[in-house]
Structure 1
């Protein structure tokens, strides 16, 4: 009887002992990647948990500056890594001159190959630094181009790839979007948008400003047909709420978009032009999960579903999220969490 009591007492202490052993991690620092210093943050309540590397969209739309309203609750189950990619946010600010000119833009190119190599080098660092065999990738929009390229190039580094607003063939998608918003504007008798679209003409463009103008029309119609994210999600963390960080984000966003869209007059080639996963991205050696907003105009469901149907992978799944457009909202975050837990065999 005494032995039974002692056994029960011992077992009751085990959960508390395991909890006490959890070692949190909170790192924010520049890491040498691809020959330059790049900003990376790592956080979680227990560094023994699986690691997720988030690849932001844009390119240039960094995530590290926001408070934990979006993914903060994930820290109990995962170690979260945000990365200000080459040309964006604090990475841009660390490496750009004090005065950013057009000469700097033209003399410091961004390429899909270099960005992919940066991502792979970061993943190698994370596996060593955090003592992990593999990490999970979550990429959004432009980040889905980077994520797919990384997953296809080095499957040995990754446990799973979750693509949200997955780019398949950017210019085919942009042409589809142009036709979609043209039809929407026609149905809505939106003469202002119709005039703008007529002036622009169908893509692709040789002037980045034209692509930017088309994006504004696309976003206008996405907002009308989707459920937005709470405004509280985009609150800046206090450490990033200052003039220098704001300037670096602004300049980095312009610089990154210029190389995303391309600008012939300045001799700048589009990074997106080299992305066609229907041609060279159909065979994954790791599980893949595609999360698609039903109201996404920029990366439309027609193209992502056609791509998903052709993809070969050990495990794959496609989720269409009602009420979601190209960006994040609560339903998208919920779908991402479900996907990560499913692919990593977590409850």
Structure 2
């Protein structure tokens, strides 16, 4: 066997396995209920075509609008993992400007302005599009990771659009006052003898307001790859979901990777955000479901903010054995929280609990 043939054999095997698993996932994703919906396509949002998926087994169910993280980290590949959610909710997934299929549609030059304000306005427009398309007055806003930065702003300013706010991998900004996560990372790196990584983090300094977009990305990469549970989740949940996604070609997987690099430019402008100063009153039910071992968005900070929140109903829960990507690592546990805590409130089938 030639060296080229020897190299080609495992590649062909991997691609063959990928096609088989994609086919299985495509069968799993089929929706054939009489009142179900399965739509994917491009909608004109903010002057460009943006990809939106709407899926669920019954249009009578509450509607969830997800705001994905990153920035630039699409949730579109997690459909097979979260298939059970669609029995109880209609799930709307959106590839933001600069992300995934939206990025792939017209390339980097066709994305228009990239800023937090621009993406925030896009999110409002997507919300109103979903209202009109599905004939609903409000949707449950579920925000993941960096998407929860948008989520808090949306929930504060527009409670009339959303029946509840649910943050997971909840990101809390305090204008740089709390450096505990960075100090914990440095301690972990030094204990593991990772001098190179520790040196990189030390050089960034404690004030995130002075970090560049590249430093934000480097910090996240070091945090993810040097924490055992987070790294295991990246491999077993994130990478597998991407590789076996029935919605994505190999070229589109490349677009997903490009989206992370392309979108990181908006990170520095959020460094001065202060969620406490912006306000802890929310005029809608407010929930946070956080991984108990999340080192990227630590649950302790999310809990402190939650404790100060004033809302008609509120609840906080930790998801055991979960780091970042908690809802996708344990989708059934997350669904149970949505069914027991959120769905009864938004459907009016449970007497409202007095906020703690």
Same fold (TM over 0.5): yes
Distance 1:226 1:289, change over 3 A: farther
After TM superposition, the score normalised by the length of structure 1 is 0.80
Distance 1:233 1:281, change over 3 A: farther
Distance 1:328 1:170, change over 3 A: farther
Alignment of 1:307-322 (within 5 A): 307-322=305-320
- Which residue of the partner structure matches residue 218 of structure 2? 213
In structure 1, C-alpha distance between the alignment counterparts of 2:48 and 2:94, rounded to whole Å = 13
- Which residue of the partner structure matches residue 343 of structure 1? 342
In structure 2, C-alpha distance between the alignment counterparts of 1:162 and 1:276, rounded to whole Å = 19
- Match 1:238 to one of 243, 246, 264: 246
Q: Name stretches of at least 5 consecutive residues in structure 1 with no aligned partner.
A: 1-19, 263-269
> Is the Cα contact below 8 Å between 1:25 and 1:43 reproduced in 2?
yes
- Which residue of the partner structure matches residue 279 of structure 1? 277
> Is the Cα contact below 8 Å between 1:177 and 1:218 reproduced in 2?
no
Alignment of 1:155-166 (within 5 A): 155-166=159-170
> Is the Cα contact below 8 Å between 2:71 and 2:263 reproduced in 1?
yes
- Which residue of the partner structure matches residue 127 of structure 2? 123
SS of the equivalent of 2:277 reads helix
Alignment of 1:129-140 (within 5 A): 129-140=133-144
Q: Name stretches of at least 5 consecutive residues in structure 2 with no aligned partner.
A: 1-31, 350-356
> Is the Cα contact below 8 Å between 2:290 and 2:326 reproduced in 1?
no
SS of the equivalent of 2:176 reads helix
1:326 Cα deviation after fit: 1.9
Distance 1:335 1:226, change over 3 A: farther
1:217 Cα deviation after fit: 2.0
Alignment of 1:219-234 (within 5 A): 219-224=224-229, 228=233, 230-231=236-237, 232-234=240-242
Task: State the number of aligned residues.
Answer: 310
- CA displacement, residues 25-71 of structure 1 (integer Å, 9 cap, x when unaligned): 1111111112221110111111221111111110100122x263221
In structure 1, C-alpha distance between the alignment counterparts of 2:266 and 2:37, rounded to whole Å = 35
- CA displacement, residues 250-275 of structure 1 (integer Å, 9 cap, x when unaligned): 33221101222x3xxxxxxx2x2353
In structure 2, C-alpha distance between the alignment counterparts of 1:155 and 1:329, rounded to whole Å = 24
Larger-Rg structure = 1
In structure 1, C-alpha distance between the alignment counterparts of 2:189 and 2:90, rounded to whole Å = 44
1:284 Cα deviation after fit: 0.7
- Which residue of the partner structure matches residue 248 of structure 1? 255
In structure 2, C-alpha distance between the alignment counterparts of 1:31 and 1:208, rounded to whole Å = 29
1:332 Cα deviation after fit: 4.6
After TM superposition, the score normalised by the length of structure 2 is 0.78
- CA displacement, residues 121-169 of structure 1 (integer Å, 9 cap, x when unaligned): 1111111211112111111111111111111121111111110111111
SS of the equivalent of 2:288 reads strand
Tell me how large the CA RMSD over aligned residues is. Answer: 2.7
Distance 1:51 1:182, change over 3 A: same
- Which residue of the partner structure matches residue 13 of structure 1? none
Alignment of 1:155-194 (within 5 A): 155-169=159-173, 172=176, 175-194=179-198
1:212 Cα deviation after fit: 2.1
> Is the Cα contact below 8 Å between 1:228 and 1:329 reproduced in 2?
no
- Which residue of the partner structure matches residue 25 of structure 1? 37
Distance 1:218 1:173, change over 3 A: farther
SS of the equivalent of 2:233 reads coil
